[in-house]
A and B are shown apart, each in its own frame.
Chain A
């Protein structure tokens, strides 16, 4: 059960199930698996489409969404977060399919300015923890955005 990776809680960018997500982020692209046959977005990633068994292809999305909910975390539940609290971790519902919710950070704004269901936009930032010195992974985070067509 214990977590063996020495870079935890950074994501394991080599895990085949999620590697394209982080590879995309490293190139400023938000990629979500989409079924080739039925066109549905499938989140979290799976081996095949749960609806029809179709192949899933990591597909670029707009990076626009809405702020579904968020937590202003005040207590560090892992040592890596001790110098981060308080921070905002959020669920963002993507414009292409609001059932796709990303766990993410909302940055560049104060918690008291966050508004439920307001538009947000992706930004790609390095994720770093002082408990994992010298390591960094590019990940999608979100900033307040303006409603787009």
Chain B
């Protein structure tokens, strides 16, 4: 494995901003193909988050979304709510890694006096779109010419193949066993079964089910893989000072981190093939929060495949590199018994594939004490975002 200094870096973030908190959360139903558009889903999530914060659409004076999808942007906001006021905007929010960094953008805007209440929205309708092949994770990738010429013709496509290759290399380097990957999938399913809104609610799964599941690409099984879903969520970020007068227990944004691999966007070429840029992102977020991994009560990470969870658990510092296989065995990740309650809503594997936005919402619920699989006395909840060559970290705490 290359030395860390050789393969990536952290983004410098300002630790001196006046603190902000997530004050409102909103979610739509999480489903298989719903027939709805992502824009409709985004509008519903936004509406619910604003109401949850005790605000009206006219109070929202900042909005962030994902420029790569742009399903619910500032124009959609005004069209849906019939508003026309000036808003601070950024297309560098939404889901995936940006679900963790959007609150930092909001903090900057709030500190600069450009906004008071910033909405971050991320909807997705890939389950619906898949039927007509007009979207989804594979198509986004296949449209890139280097992939079309140097990867796809060789069968190195799409995501299950990339992550199967990472999983095999992980097993080669560290001796991780199939059942250890399975422990992650089982913990996620266990939490989904406690969560009425989870797509896989009511479908229990054991480690034997995991081992018996078909391979998509050996050694990666169907049950190592995320769902494809319709759904969305949104949250409102406000200064902590204002948040104290708002209806909900504030989820304080205590630390944010962002890290990049210098190997570019192609999985095949990541120099640190079995690591994620959490190596660079997480330390900064924990330092900003004045906390360490040992202080974390709930961890949610962007988990398209079990190996991505495994790598992030190591790279964020919850166990030494290469030891996550043994670390996650047994009840380690369970909400009620484990050392590290993990993806307590079920994650992308068993809750819904809404690309991380529901992970942040789950962290907020855990801090409010209203999560379906509630961790007792949750004080610190962390989201790890991941987008291949980029990772991000969001440390949320109770108002301390």
Contact with B along A1-38 (1 / 0, CB 8 A): 11101001111100101100100000000000000000
Also in contact, A71 and B217, with CB within 8 A (given A2-B139, A12-B148, A77-B160):
yes
Also in contact, A87 and B145, with CB within 8 A (given A44-B266, A71-B165):
no
Interface size class of B (residues with CB under 8 A): 35 or more
Q: Which residues of B contact A147 (CB under 8 A)?
A: none
Is B164 engaged at the interface, CB distance under 8 Å to the other chain? yes
Is B155 engaged at the interface, CB distance under 8 Å to the other chain? yes
Q: Which residues of B contact A59 (CB under 8 A)?
A: none
Is B218 engaged at the interface, CB distance under 8 Å to the other chain? yes
Q: Considering residues A103, A111, A117, which has the most beta carbons from chain B within 10 angstroms of its beta carbon?
A: A103
**A71 contacts B161, CB within 8 Å?**
yes
Q: How far is the CB of A56 from chain B (nearest CB, A)?
A: 14
Is B92 engaged at the interface, CB distance under 8 Å to the other chain? no
Tally A-B pairs: CB < 8 A.
122
Q: Which residues of B contact A77 (CB under 8 A)?
A: 138, 157-158, 160-161
- Residues 89-136 of A contacting B (Cβ, < 8 Å): 89-91, 99, 101-105, 111, 116-117, 127
- Residues 191-245 of B contacting A (Cβ, < 8 Å): 214-218, 220
Q: How far is the CA of A111 from the CA of B151 in the complex (A)?
A: 20
Is B268 engaged at the interface, CB distance under 8 Å to the other chain? yes
Q: Which residues of A contact B148 (CB under 8 A)?
A: 3, 5, 8-9, 11-12
* B157 nearest in chain A by CB position: A77
Is A61 engaged at the interface, CB distance under 8 Å to the other chain? no
Is B318 engaged at the interface, CB distance under 8 Å to the other chain? no
Q: How far is the CA of A105 from the CA of B152 in the complex (A)?
A: 11
Also in contact, A74 and B215, with CB within 8 A (given A18-B146, A101-B268, A104-B154):
yes
Say what secondary structure dominates the interface of chain B.
helix
Q: Considering residues B148, B169, B216, B266, which has the most beta carbons from chain A within 10 angstroms of its beta carbon?
A: B148
Q: Considering residues A3, A11, A90, which has the most beta carbons from chain B within 10 angstroms of its beta carbon?
A: A11
Q: Which residues of B contact A91 (CB under 8 A)?
A: 156, 165, 268
Q: How far is the CA of A139 from the CA of B134 in the complex (A)?
A: 30
Contact with A along B121-160 (1 / 0, CB 8 A): 0000000000000110011101101101111111111101
Q: Considering residues B150, B155, B161, B266, which has the most beta carbons from chain A within 10 angstroms of its beta carbon?
A: B155
**A74 contacts B146, CB within 8 Å?**
no
25 interchain pairs, CB-CB under 8 A: A1-B140, A1-B143, A3-B139, A3-B143, A5-B148, A9-B152, A11-B149, A11-B153, A12-B145, A45-B146, A68-B273, A69-B165, A69-B166, A69-B168, A69-B273, A73-B155, A73-B164, A74-B217, A75-B215, A75-B216, A77-B157, A77-B158, A105-B154, A116-B172, A117-B172
User: Which B residues lie at the A interface, using CB under 8 A?
Assistant: 134-135, 138-140, 142-143, 145-146, 148-158, 160-161, 164-166, 168-169, 172, 214-218, 220, 266, 268-269, 271, 273
